[in-house]
Amino acid sequence: MSRIGKKAIEIPAGVTVTLDGQSVTVKGPKGQLAWTVVEEIAITQEGNELSLAMREDNQRSRAMWGLSRTLVSNMVEGVSKGFEKSLELVGVGYRAAMKGNVLSLQLGFSHDVDIPPPPGITFSSGKQTEVKISGIDKQVVGEIASKIRRIRPPEPYKGKGVRYAGEQVRRKEGKKK
């Protein structure tokens, strides 16, 4: 049995959840998200709690139960609080700047790398070596952060590159004379 799937989802004040068959729509102060729950899972709303249950007990239902609960919970959290990922730029001359709402990165290439934000995502750069990505959809925020990191991943000899905030990069020993 899924320990995650058993937990009820608390709906905070200011967030409304609409169930229409298998589709779930969550509206909150930061925006609106919608998702269709798979057929193996039944979703019910009682007061200010959402609960998910398996319709039948098989391998796929057990796998989808915890996943569905987590995805709906992330939707509720996203429209109420939002999600944020931070990236650090480590290296001489590596910096980030905002050109309107487009993120412009200087990462040691002969050109600047400009990244337009997808719908629902905002970039901010407090310092020149920090980038904050925020939005209501956890998956999209993580995916954009991963794409930016992939442009210049941290290398193991000097540690230069784009890394997540707080990420530890394993360093290798250089050449010996």
Q: 117 lies in a domain?
A: yes
Give the domain-ending residue among 80, 110, 136: 80
Edge-to-edge strands, sheet with 83-90: 121-124, 130-135, 83-90, 161-164
Is the pLDDT score of 1 beyond 70?
no
> pLDDT category, 145, cuts 50, 70, 90?
very high
Residue 143 lies in a domain: yes
> Are 7 and 40 found together in one domain?
yes
Note whether 88 and 56 are same-domain residues.
no
> Does 5 score more than 90 pLDDT?
no
Residue 60 structural domain: 3-80
Average pLDDT of the residues in 17-34: 93
pLDDT at 172: 92
Q: Do 125 and 106 belong to one domain?
A: yes
Q: What is the mean pLDDT of residues 49-78?
A: 92
2 has a pLDDT exceeding 80: no
Q: What is the pLDDT of residue 73?
A: 94
**47 lies in some domain:** yes
**Same-domain pairing of 76 and 109:** no
Mean pLDDT of 28-34: 93
By percentage, how much of the chain surpasses pLDDT 70?
Answer: 99
pLDDT tops 90 at residue 34: yes
3-state secondary structure of 164: strand
Write down the pLDDT at residue 27: 95
Phi, psi of 27 (to 5 degrees): -115, 140
* Residue 76 placed within a domain: yes
Domain count within the chain: 2
Residue 177, pLDDT above cutoff 80: no
Give 89's Cβ-side CA count (13 Å radius).
22
135 and 122 co-located in one domain: yes
Mean of the per-residue pLDDT values for the chain? 92
Give the pLDDT confidence of 83-118 residue by residue, as tens digits: 999 999 999 999 999 999 999 999 999 999 999 999
Is 34:27 a contact under the CB 8 Å cutoff? no
Q: Are residues 76 and 87 in the same domain?
A: no
CA angle (70 as vertex; 53, 28 as ends), nearest 5: 105
Same domain, 73 and 105: no
In a domain? residue 113: yes
Q: Assign residue 125 the CATH number of its domain.
A: 3.90.930.12
Do 90 and 159 belong together in one domain? yes
Task: Tell whether the model's pLDDT for residue 126 goes beyond 90.
Answer: no
Does residue 171 fall inside a structural domain? Answer: no
**Residue 177 belongs to some domain of the structure:** no
Q: How far apart are CA 78 and CA 154, in angstroms?
A: 29
> Which tokens sit at 109?
């290439």
Residues 137, 99 share a domain: yes
